[in-house]
Chains A and B, each alone.
Chain A
Protein backbone atom coordinates (compact mmCIF):
# COMPACT_ATOMS: atom_id res chain seq x y z
CA UNK A 1 0.00 0.00 0.00
CA UNK A 2 2.47 2.61 -1.14
CA UNK A 3 -0.17 5.12 -2.09
CA UNK A 4 -1.44 5.73 1.42
CA UNK A 5 1.81 7.19 2.65
CA UNK A 6 1.53 10.88 3.32
CA UNK A 7 4.05 13.21 1.79
CA UNK A 8 4.89 14.28 5.30
CA UNK A 9 5.01 11.70 8.03
CA UNK A 10 1.75 11.31 9.89
CA UNK A 11 1.47 13.19 13.19
CA UNK A 12 -2.17 12.59 13.90
CA UNK A 13 -5.01 10.34 12.82
CA UNK A 14 -8.48 11.69 13.50
CA UNK A 15 -11.48 9.38 13.61
CA UNK A 16 -15.01 10.76 13.66
CA UNK A 17 -18.12 8.69 14.17
CA UNK A 18 -21.75 8.84 15.13
CA UNK A 19 -24.53 6.26 15.36
CA UNK A 20 -23.23 2.77 14.58
CA UNK A 21 -19.55 3.64 14.84
CA UNK A 22 -18.81 2.27 18.30
CA UNK A 23 -19.03 -1.26 16.93
CA UNK A 24 -16.60 -0.27 14.17
CA UNK A 25 -14.11 0.93 16.78
CA UNK A 26 -14.52 -2.29 18.76
CA UNK A 27 -13.51 -4.18 15.63
CA UNK A 28 -10.87 -1.71 14.51
CA UNK A 29 -9.00 -1.27 17.79
CA UNK A 30 -7.68 -4.84 18.13
CA UNK A 31 -6.61 -4.77 14.47
CA UNK A 32 -4.40 -1.70 14.90
CA UNK A 33 -0.83 -2.57 15.87
CA UNK A 34 -0.19 -0.77 19.16
CA UNK A 35 3.21 0.63 18.12
CA UNK A 36 1.80 3.42 15.95
CA UNK A 37 3.93 6.57 15.84
CA UNK A 38 1.22 9.26 15.75
CA UNK A 39 -1.62 10.36 18.02
CA UNK A 40 -5.06 8.94 17.33
CA UNK A 41 -7.84 11.36 18.25
CA UNK A 42 -11.40 10.06 18.29
CA UNK A 43 -14.51 12.22 18.21
CA UNK A 44 -17.70 10.29 18.85
CA UNK A 45 -21.22 11.58 19.17
CA UNK A 46 -22.61 10.14 22.34
CA UNK A 47 -25.24 10.66 24.99
CA UNK A 48 -24.65 13.59 27.30
CA UNK A 49 -22.18 13.43 30.18
CA UNK A 50 -21.26 10.72 32.56
CA UNK A 51 -20.05 7.94 30.31
CA UNK A 52 -16.32 8.37 30.78
CA UNK A 53 -16.53 4.58 30.99
CA UNK A 54 -16.25 4.59 27.20
CA UNK A 55 -12.49 5.14 27.17
CA UNK A 56 -12.12 2.30 29.69
CA UNK A 57 -14.24 0.07 27.49
CA UNK A 58 -12.16 0.89 24.42
CA UNK A 59 -8.92 0.39 26.32
CA UNK A 60 -9.81 -3.28 26.78
CA UNK A 61 -9.53 -3.67 22.99
CA UNK A 62 -5.94 -2.52 22.57
CA UNK A 63 -2.55 -2.51 24.25
CA UNK A 64 -2.01 1.13 23.36
CA UNK A 65 -2.77 3.71 26.03
CA UNK A 66 -6.40 4.90 25.66
CA UNK A 67 -7.61 7.94 27.54
CA UNK A 68 -10.08 10.80 27.51
CA UNK A 69 -8.49 14.03 26.29
CA UNK A 70 -8.09 16.56 29.11
CA UNK A 71 -7.91 20.31 28.79
CA UNK A 72 -4.32 21.50 28.05
CA UNK A 73 -2.97 17.93 27.89
CA UNK A 74 0.01 17.49 25.56
CA UNK A 75 -0.89 15.38 22.51
CA UNK A 76 1.51 12.44 22.44
CA UNK A 77 2.20 9.85 19.75
CA UNK A 78 1.21 6.24 20.32
CA UNK A 79 -1.96 7.04 22.27
CA UNK A 80 -5.69 6.86 21.60
CA UNK A 81 -7.45 10.03 22.78
CA UNK A 82 -11.20 10.24 23.09
CA UNK A 83 -13.04 13.60 23.01
CA UNK A 84 -14.96 14.05 26.28
CA UNK A 85 -18.75 14.22 26.18
CA UNK A 86 -20.43 17.61 25.80
CA UNK A 87 -17.33 19.68 24.93
CA UNK A 88 -15.77 20.51 21.59
CA UNK A 89 -12.16 19.38 21.33
CA UNK A 90 -9.67 21.85 19.82
CA UNK A 91 -5.99 21.49 18.96
CA UNK A 92 -3.50 24.21 19.91
CA UNK A 93 -0.43 25.09 17.92
CA UNK A 94 1.80 24.10 20.83
CA UNK A 95 0.55 20.52 20.56
CA UNK A 96 -1.99 20.54 23.39
CA UNK A 97 -5.73 20.06 23.58
CA UNK A 98 -8.23 22.76 24.54
CA UNK A 99 -11.82 22.08 25.46
CA UNK A 100 -14.58 24.42 24.38
CA UNK A 101 -18.16 24.71 25.59
CA UNK A 102 -19.52 26.78 22.72
CA UNK A 103 -22.70 26.22 20.70
CA UNK A 104 -23.39 22.80 19.26
CA UNK A 105 -22.38 22.33 15.63
CA UNK A 106 -24.47 19.97 13.47
CA UNK A 107 -26.57 19.42 16.62
CA UNK A 108 -23.47 17.91 18.17
CA UNK A 109 -20.98 18.62 20.92
CA UNK A 110 -18.36 17.35 20.45
CA UNK A 111 -18.64 18.05 16.75
CA UNK A 112 -16.44 16.14 14.32
CA UNK A 113 -16.16 19.17 12.01
CA UNK A 114 -14.87 21.36 14.83
CA UNK A 115 -12.03 19.03 15.79
CA UNK A 116 -11.17 18.13 12.19
CA UNK A 117 -10.98 21.79 11.13
CA UNK A 118 -8.94 22.74 14.16
CA UNK A 119 -6.51 19.86 13.57
CA UNK A 120 -6.22 20.53 9.82
CA UNK A 121 -5.05 24.02 10.62
CA UNK A 122 -2.31 22.72 12.93
CA UNK A 123 -1.16 19.49 11.25
CA UNK A 124 -1.72 20.37 7.58
CA UNK A 125 -0.31 17.59 5.37
CA UNK A 126 0.68 15.44 8.35
CA UNK A 127 -2.91 14.59 9.15
CA UNK A 128 -5.29 11.79 8.24
CA UNK A 129 -9.04 12.11 8.84
CA UNK A 130 -11.34 9.11 8.96
CA UNK A 131 -15.14 9.20 9.03
CA UNK A 132 -17.31 6.28 10.14
CA UNK A 133 -20.96 5.35 10.34
CA UNK A 134 -23.57 7.93 11.34
CA UNK A 135 -26.90 9.57 10.61
CA UNK A 136 -25.68 13.17 10.65
CA UNK A 137 -23.90 15.56 8.29
CA UNK A 138 -21.08 16.15 10.74
CA UNK A 139 -17.59 15.41 9.44
CA UNK A 140 -17.90 16.31 5.76
CA UNK A 141 -16.75 19.90 6.15
CA UNK A 142 -13.93 18.78 8.40
CA UNK A 143 -12.70 16.23 5.87
CA UNK A 144 -12.82 18.85 3.12
CA UNK A 145 -10.70 21.16 5.25
CA UNK A 146 -8.20 18.37 5.92
CA UNK A 147 -7.93 17.74 2.17
CA UNK A 148 -7.55 21.44 1.48
CA UNK A 149 -4.65 21.65 3.93
CA UNK A 150 -2.92 18.71 2.25
CA UNK A 151 -3.97 15.85 4.53
CA UNK A 152 -5.58 12.56 3.53
CA UNK A 153 -9.12 11.37 4.13
CA UNK A 154 -10.68 7.96 4.52
CA UNK A 155 -14.40 7.26 4.67
CA UNK A 156 -16.05 4.04 5.75
CA UNK A 157 -17.69 2.26 2.86
CA UNK A 158 -21.38 3.12 3.38
CA UNK A 159 -22.34 -0.43 2.41
CA UNK A 160 -20.51 -1.66 5.49
CA UNK A 161 -21.86 1.07 7.78
CA UNK A 162 -24.75 0.49 10.14
CA UNK A 163 -25.80 4.08 9.37
CA UNK A 164 -24.67 4.90 5.83
CA UNK A 165 -25.87 8.51 5.76
CA UNK A 166 -22.80 10.20 7.23
CA UNK A 167 -20.14 8.46 5.13
CA UNK A 168 -22.35 8.75 2.04
CA UNK A 169 -22.75 12.47 2.64
CA UNK A 170 -18.97 12.86 2.76
CA UNK A 171 -18.50 10.85 -0.41
CA UNK A 172 -21.17 12.80 -2.29
CA UNK A 173 -19.33 16.00 -1.38
CA UNK A 174 -16.02 14.65 -2.68
CA UNK A 175 -14.50 14.56 0.78
CA UNK A 176 -13.10 11.02 0.53
CA UNK A 177 -9.66 10.09 -0.82
CA UNK A 178 -10.28 6.44 0.05
CA UNK A 179 -13.41 4.44 0.73
CA UNK A 180 -12.65 1.40 2.89
CA UNK A 181 -14.23 -1.37 4.91
CA UNK A 182 -12.97 -2.11 8.41
CA UNK A 183 -10.21 -4.50 7.39
CA UNK A 184 -8.94 -2.07 4.78
CA UNK A 185 -9.02 0.74 7.33
CA UNK A 186 -6.90 -1.29 9.77
CA UNK A 187 -4.48 -2.09 6.98
CA UNK A 188 -4.25 1.55 5.99
CA UNK A 189 -3.57 2.62 9.57
CA UNK A 190 -0.95 -0.08 10.10
CA UNK A 191 0.90 1.20 7.05
CA UNK A 192 0.81 4.86 8.05
CA UNK A 193 4.18 6.35 8.88
Chain B
Protein backbone atom coordinates (compact mmCIF):
# COMPACT_ATOMS: atom_id res chain seq x y z
CA UNK B 1 0.00 0.00 0.00
CA UNK B 2 1.40 3.39 -1.01
CA UNK B 3 0.39 6.40 1.04
CA UNK B 4 -0.16 9.89 -0.28
CA UNK B 5 2.85 11.11 1.71
CA UNK B 6 5.05 8.52 0.00
CA UNK B 7 3.98 9.83 -3.36
CA UNK B 8 4.74 13.38 -2.29
CA UNK B 9 8.26 12.33 -1.29
CA UNK B 10 8.76 10.48 -4.57
CA UNK B 11 7.67 13.54 -6.54
CA UNK B 12 10.12 15.68 -4.59
CA UNK B 13 12.91 13.24 -5.45
CA UNK B 14 12.02 13.45 -9.13
CA UNK B 15 12.25 17.20 -9.00
CA UNK B 16 15.45 17.38 -6.92
CA UNK B 17 17.37 14.75 -8.84
CA UNK B 18 16.03 14.97 -12.38
CA UNK B 19 14.25 18.33 -12.56
CA UNK B 20 10.85 16.88 -13.52
CA UNK B 21 7.94 18.48 -11.69
CA UNK B 22 4.84 16.29 -11.33
CA UNK B 23 3.55 17.93 -8.17
CA UNK B 24 0.60 19.54 -9.96
CA UNK B 25 -0.55 16.37 -11.66
CA UNK B 26 -3.82 14.66 -10.74
CA UNK B 27 -3.08 12.71 -7.56
CA UNK B 28 -5.75 10.10 -8.24
CA UNK B 29 -4.24 9.26 -11.61
CA UNK B 30 -0.63 9.30 -10.37
CA UNK B 31 -1.44 6.95 -7.53
CA UNK B 32 -3.21 4.54 -9.83
CA UNK B 33 -0.31 4.55 -12.26
CA UNK B 34 2.27 4.03 -9.52
CA UNK B 35 0.38 1.08 -8.05
CA UNK B 36 0.04 -0.37 -11.55
CA UNK B 37 3.76 0.05 -12.21
CA UNK B 38 4.72 -1.65 -8.95
CA UNK B 39 2.50 -4.59 -9.89
CA UNK B 40 3.92 -4.75 -13.44
CA UNK B 41 7.54 -4.62 -12.29
CA UNK B 42 6.95 -6.70 -9.17
CA UNK B 43 8.28 -4.01 -6.88
CA UNK B 44 7.55 -5.21 -3.36
CA UNK B 45 7.56 -1.98 -1.42
CA UNK B 46 7.50 1.76 -1.64
CA UNK B 47 11.03 1.93 -0.22
CA UNK B 48 12.27 -0.27 -3.04
CA UNK B 49 10.49 1.84 -5.62
CA UNK B 50 11.96 5.03 -4.23
CA UNK B 51 15.44 3.54 -4.18
CA UNK B 52 15.26 2.44 -7.79
CA UNK B 53 13.89 5.74 -9.04
CA UNK B 54 16.57 7.68 -7.14
CA UNK B 55 19.56 5.61 -8.12
CA UNK B 56 18.81 4.14 -11.53
CA UNK B 57 18.35 6.71 -14.28
CA UNK B 58 17.13 4.12 -16.75
CA UNK B 59 14.45 3.09 -14.32
CA UNK B 60 13.57 6.71 -13.71
CA UNK B 61 12.83 7.04 -17.43
CA UNK B 62 10.61 4.01 -17.33
CA UNK B 63 8.89 5.42 -14.28
CA UNK B 64 8.05 8.69 -16.06
CA UNK B 65 6.84 6.82 -19.13
CA UNK B 66 4.55 4.65 -17.07
CA UNK B 67 3.05 7.22 -14.73
CA UNK B 68 2.09 9.40 -17.68
CA UNK B 69 -0.68 8.05 -19.88
CA UNK B 70 0.32 7.57 -23.50
CA UNK B 71 -2.85 6.06 -24.94
CA UNK B 72 -3.82 7.63 -28.26
CA UNK B 73 -5.57 6.92 -31.57
CA UNK B 74 -5.71 8.10 -35.18
CA UNK B 75 -8.74 10.24 -36.01
CA UNK B 76 -10.08 9.94 -32.48
CA UNK B 77 -13.38 11.87 -32.33
CA UNK B 78 -14.03 11.97 -36.10
CA UNK B 79 -16.31 15.00 -35.79
CA UNK B 80 -13.36 16.95 -34.42
CA UNK B 81 -11.25 16.09 -37.46
CA UNK B 82 -14.18 16.86 -39.71
CA UNK B 83 -14.29 20.33 -38.24
CA UNK B 84 -10.55 20.73 -38.82
CA UNK B 85 -11.11 19.77 -42.45
CA UNK B 86 -14.11 21.98 -43.05
CA UNK B 87 -13.68 24.96 -40.76
CA UNK B 88 -10.00 25.39 -39.94
CA UNK B 89 -7.87 24.20 -42.86
CA UNK B 90 -9.63 26.40 -45.44
CA UNK B 91 -8.74 29.44 -43.30
CA UNK B 92 -5.17 28.31 -42.65
CA UNK B 93 -4.84 27.58 -46.37
CA UNK B 94 -4.92 31.30 -47.16
CA UNK B 95 -1.59 31.74 -45.36
CA UNK B 96 1.74 31.43 -47.14
CA UNK B 97 2.98 29.06 -44.47
CA UNK B 98 1.28 26.94 -41.77
CA UNK B 99 2.78 26.07 -38.39
CA UNK B 100 1.05 23.52 -36.20
CA UNK B 101 2.05 22.37 -32.71
CA UNK B 102 0.96 19.03 -31.28
CA UNK B 103 1.74 19.39 -27.57
CA UNK B 104 1.72 16.06 -25.72
CA UNK B 105 1.54 14.15 -29.00
CA UNK B 106 2.41 10.76 -27.49
CA UNK B 107 3.27 8.19 -30.18
CA UNK B 108 2.08 10.46 -32.96
CA UNK B 109 -1.22 9.00 -34.21
CA UNK B 110 -2.75 12.46 -33.95
CA UNK B 111 0.14 14.04 -35.85
CA UNK B 112 -0.10 11.59 -38.74
CA UNK B 113 -3.87 12.10 -38.85
CA UNK B 114 -3.24 15.82 -39.22
CA UNK B 115 -0.62 15.27 -41.92
CA UNK B 116 -3.19 13.23 -43.85
CA UNK B 117 -5.75 16.04 -43.56
CA UNK B 118 -3.19 18.56 -44.77
CA UNK B 119 -2.18 16.38 -47.68
CA UNK B 120 -5.78 15.93 -48.74
CA UNK B 121 -6.30 19.69 -48.55
CA UNK B 122 -3.18 20.17 -50.66
CA UNK B 123 -1.52 22.10 -47.84
CA UNK B 124 1.10 19.68 -46.62
CA UNK B 125 3.81 21.25 -48.83
CA UNK B 126 3.60 24.55 -46.99
CA UNK B 127 3.04 23.15 -43.50
CA UNK B 128 5.25 22.20 -40.58
CA UNK B 129 3.98 19.98 -37.78
CA UNK B 130 5.86 20.29 -34.49
CA UNK B 131 5.37 17.13 -32.45
CA UNK B 132 6.43 17.45 -28.82
CA UNK B 133 6.09 15.35 -25.71
CA UNK B 134 7.73 14.95 -22.35
CA UNK B 135 8.73 11.33 -23.06
CA UNK B 136 11.60 10.76 -25.50
CA UNK B 137 10.53 7.15 -26.04
CA UNK B 138 7.11 7.98 -27.50
CA UNK B 139 8.76 10.50 -29.82
CA UNK B 140 10.94 7.71 -31.20
CA UNK B 141 7.70 6.10 -32.40
CA UNK B 142 6.57 9.34 -34.03
CA UNK B 143 9.81 9.37 -35.95
CA UNK B 144 9.27 5.84 -37.22
CA UNK B 145 5.62 6.33 -38.15
CA UNK B 146 4.88 2.68 -37.51
CA UNK B 147 1.62 1.71 -35.82
CA UNK B 148 -0.02 -1.65 -35.08
CA UNK B 149 -1.75 -3.07 -38.13
CA UNK B 150 -4.65 -4.47 -36.12
CA UNK B 151 -5.78 -0.91 -35.35
CA UNK B 152 -6.14 0.04 -39.00
CA UNK B 153 -9.69 -1.17 -39.45
CA UNK B 154 -10.92 1.12 -36.71
CA UNK B 155 -8.72 4.01 -37.84
CA UNK B 156 -10.01 3.59 -41.37
CA UNK B 157 -13.60 3.83 -40.10
CA UNK B 158 -12.79 6.95 -38.10
CA UNK B 159 -10.99 8.42 -41.11
CA UNK B 160 -14.08 7.90 -43.27
CA UNK B 161 -16.30 9.37 -40.52
CA UNK B 162 -14.04 12.43 -40.47
CA UNK B 163 -14.84 13.05 -44.13
CA UNK B 164 -12.00 11.08 -45.71
CA UNK B 165 -12.85 9.82 -49.19
CA UNK B 166 -9.85 7.67 -50.02
CA UNK B 167 -8.93 4.12 -49.29
CA UNK B 168 -7.15 4.60 -45.96
CA UNK B 169 -4.69 1.79 -46.72
CA UNK B 170 -3.07 3.95 -49.42
CA UNK B 171 -1.29 5.83 -46.63
CA UNK B 172 0.68 2.88 -45.26
CA UNK B 173 2.37 -0.33 -46.20
CA UNK B 174 1.66 -3.41 -44.13
CA UNK B 175 4.63 -5.33 -42.89
CA UNK B 176 4.78 -8.07 -40.24
CA UNK B 177 1.74 -6.86 -38.33
CA UNK B 178 2.79 -3.22 -38.54
CA UNK B 179 1.57 -0.34 -40.66
CA UNK B 180 4.38 1.90 -41.85
CA UNK B 181 3.07 5.30 -42.85
CA UNK B 182 4.18 7.16 -45.95
CA UNK B 183 7.51 8.95 -45.74
CA UNK B 184 5.92 11.93 -47.39
CA UNK B 185 3.74 12.48 -44.31
CA UNK B 186 6.71 12.31 -41.94
CA UNK B 187 8.79 14.76 -43.92
CA UNK B 188 6.92 17.74 -42.51
CA UNK B 189 7.00 16.55 -38.90
CA UNK B 190 9.54 18.12 -36.55
CA UNK B 191 10.09 16.16 -33.38
CA UNK B 192 11.35 17.48 -30.06
CA UNK B 193 10.98 16.88 -26.34
CA UNK B 194 9.15 19.68 -24.59
CA UNK B 195 7.86 19.72 -21.04
CA UNK B 196 4.71 21.81 -20.71
CA UNK B 197 5.39 22.29 -17.01
CA UNK B 198 8.84 23.81 -17.28
CA UNK B 199 9.69 24.71 -20.90
CA UNK B 200 8.67 27.95 -22.50
CA UNK B 201 7.17 28.98 -25.78
CA UNK B 202 9.47 28.19 -28.72
CA UNK B 203 7.67 29.49 -31.79
CA UNK B 204 4.53 31.17 -33.04
CA UNK B 205 1.83 28.85 -34.34
CA UNK B 206 -1.35 29.04 -36.38
CA UNK B 207 -2.87 26.01 -34.69
CA UNK B 208 -2.03 24.29 -31.41
CA UNK B 209 -3.48 20.91 -30.50
CA UNK B 210 -3.17 19.71 -26.94
CA UNK B 211 -5.68 16.95 -26.44
CA UNK B 212 -6.12 14.77 -23.36
CA UNK B 213 -3.11 16.20 -21.60
CA UNK B 214 -4.71 18.90 -19.45
CA UNK B 215 -6.97 16.36 -17.71
CA UNK B 216 -3.86 15.12 -15.91
CA UNK B 217 -3.07 18.57 -14.49
CA UNK B 218 -4.67 20.42 -11.60
CA UNK B 219 -6.50 23.69 -12.26
CA UNK B 220 -3.54 25.91 -11.59
CA UNK B 221 -1.22 24.02 -13.91
CA UNK B 222 -3.94 23.91 -16.55
CA UNK B 223 -4.11 27.68 -16.32
CA UNK B 224 -0.36 28.08 -16.67
CA UNK B 225 -0.21 25.82 -19.70
CA UNK B 226 -3.12 27.62 -21.34
CA UNK B 227 -1.18 30.87 -20.91
CA UNK B 228 1.80 29.25 -22.60
CA UNK B 229 -0.45 28.34 -25.54
CA UNK B 230 -1.83 31.85 -25.66
CA UNK B 231 1.72 33.21 -25.89
CA UNK B 232 2.55 30.71 -28.61
CA UNK B 233 -0.38 31.52 -30.90
CA UNK B 234 -0.33 34.13 -33.63
CA UNK B 235 -3.26 36.51 -33.99
CA UNK B 236 -6.37 34.63 -35.07
CA UNK B 237 -4.62 31.33 -34.33
CA UNK B 238 -6.56 28.28 -33.19
CA UNK B 239 -6.34 26.17 -30.06
CA UNK B 240 -7.80 22.65 -29.96
CA UNK B 241 -8.31 20.68 -26.75
CA UNK B 242 -9.65 17.21 -25.93
CA UNK B 243 -13.41 16.59 -25.89
CA UNK B 244 -13.51 16.88 -22.11
CA UNK B 245 -11.21 19.87 -21.73
CA UNK B 246 -12.12 23.53 -21.78
CA UNK B 247 -10.85 27.10 -21.78
CA UNK B 248 -13.87 28.13 -19.76
CA UNK B 249 -13.03 29.56 -16.34
CA UNK B 250 -9.35 29.92 -17.30
CA UNK B 251 -7.37 33.16 -17.15
CA UNK B 252 -7.12 33.41 -20.95
CA UNK B 253 -10.79 32.70 -21.61
CA UNK B 254 -11.63 36.26 -22.62
CA UNK B 255 -9.04 36.23 -25.40
CA UNK B 256 -10.68 33.33 -27.20
CA UNK B 257 -13.95 32.47 -28.86
CA UNK B 258 -15.17 28.90 -29.20
CA UNK B 259 -15.90 28.08 -32.83
CA UNK B 260 -18.57 25.44 -32.71
CA UNK B 261 -19.50 22.35 -30.73
CA UNK B 262 -15.98 20.95 -31.06
CA UNK B 263 -13.32 21.98 -28.56
CA UNK B 264 -11.70 24.49 -30.91
CA UNK B 265 -11.12 28.11 -29.96
CA UNK B 266 -10.00 31.05 -32.05
CA UNK B 267 -7.75 33.66 -30.55
CA UNK B 268 -9.53 36.98 -31.03
CA UNK B 269 -7.04 39.38 -29.41
Chain B, interface size: which category?
20 to 34
Q: Are B77 and A49 in contact (CB under 8 A)?
A: yes
In this complex, the member of A70, A84, A90, A99 whose beta carbon has the largest number of chain B beta carbons within 10 angstroms is A99
A51 within 8 A of B: no
Nearest CB of chain B from residue A105's CB, rounded to whole Å = 10
A70–chain B nearest beta-carbon distance, Å: 7
**B71 touches which of A49, A71, A102 (Cβ 8 Å):** A102
Please give me the residue from chain B that is nearest to A114 by CB atom: B32
B214 proximity list for chain A (CB < 8 A): 71
A50 (CB) vs chain B CBs: closest residue? B79
Convert B224-250 into 0s and 1s, putting 1 for each residue whose CB lies closer than 8 angstroms to a CB of A.
Answer: 000000000000000000111110000
B165 adjacent to chain A (CB < 8 Å): no
Contact with A90, one of B28, B242, B245, B246 (Cβ below 8 angstroms) = B28
Report the number of A-B residue pairs with Cβ-Cβ less than 8 Å: 58
Asked if A118 meets B28 with Cβ closer than 8 Å, knowing A84-B244, A93-B4, A100-B215, the reply is yes
| CB within 8 Å for A101 and B26 given contacts A70-B244, A90-B32 | no
CB distance from B76 to the nearest CB of A (A): 9
Q: Closest approach, in angstroms, between the C-beta of A150 and any C-beta of chain B?
A: 15
Residues of the B chain whose Cβ atoms lie less than 8 Å from the Cβ of A98 = 26, 28-29, 215-216
* A91-B244 in contact (CB<8A): no
Say yes or no: is A103 at the interface (Cβ < 8 Å to chain B).
yes
CA distance A84 to B242 in the complex (A): 13
Contact B32 A87 (CB under 8 A): no
Q: Measured between C-beta atoms, what is the minimum distance from A158 to chain B in Å?
A: 30
- Within A64-123, the residues touching B (CB, 8 Å) are 70-72, 84, 87, 90-93, 98-103, 114, 117-118, 121-122
Contacts of B71 in A (CB 8 A): 101-103
Task: Indicate which residue in A71, A91, A103, A117 contacts B215 across the interface (CB closer than 8 Å).
Answer: A71
Q: Are B29 and A100 in contact (CB under 8 A)?
A: yes
User: What bracket does the count of chain A residues touching chain B fall in?
Assistant: 20 to 34
**In whole angstroms, what is the CA distance A72 to B242 when docked?**
14
Of B4, B32, B219, which is within 8 A of A72 by CB?
A: B219
Contacts of B31 in A (CB 8 A): 121
> Is B244 touching A92 in the complex (CB atoms < 8 A)?
no
Q: What is the CA–CA distance of A84 and B263 in the complex, to the nearest angstrom?
A: 15
A71 and B28 contact, CB distance less than 8 A = no
- A101 and B215 in contact (CB under 8 A), knowing A49-B243, A84-B244? yes
Shortest CB-to-CB span from A98 to chain B, Å, is 4
Q: Do B27 and A93 touch across chains, with their CB atoms under 8 A apart? A: yes
A100 nearest in chain B by CB position: B29
B260 to chain A, nearest CB (A): 15
B212 and A90 form a contact (CB under 8 A):
no
- B268 at interface, CB cutoff 8 A: no
Contact of A92 with B69 in the complex, beta carbons under 8 Å: no
Instruction: Please give the distance in Å from A49's CB to the nearest CB on chain B.
Output: 6
Of all chain B residues, the one with the shortest Cβ separation from A103 is B71
Extra A-B contacts (8), CB below 8 Å, given A99-B215, A114-B32: A49-B77, A70-B246, A71-B215, A71-B245, A71-B246, A98-B216, A102-B33, A118-B32
Interface of A with B (CB < 8 Å)?
49-50, 70-72, 84, 87, 90-93, 98-103, 114, 117-118, 121-122
Chain B residues within 8 Å of A, Cβ to Cβ: 4, 26-29, 31-33, 69, 71, 77, 79, 212, 214-216, 218-219, 222, 242-246
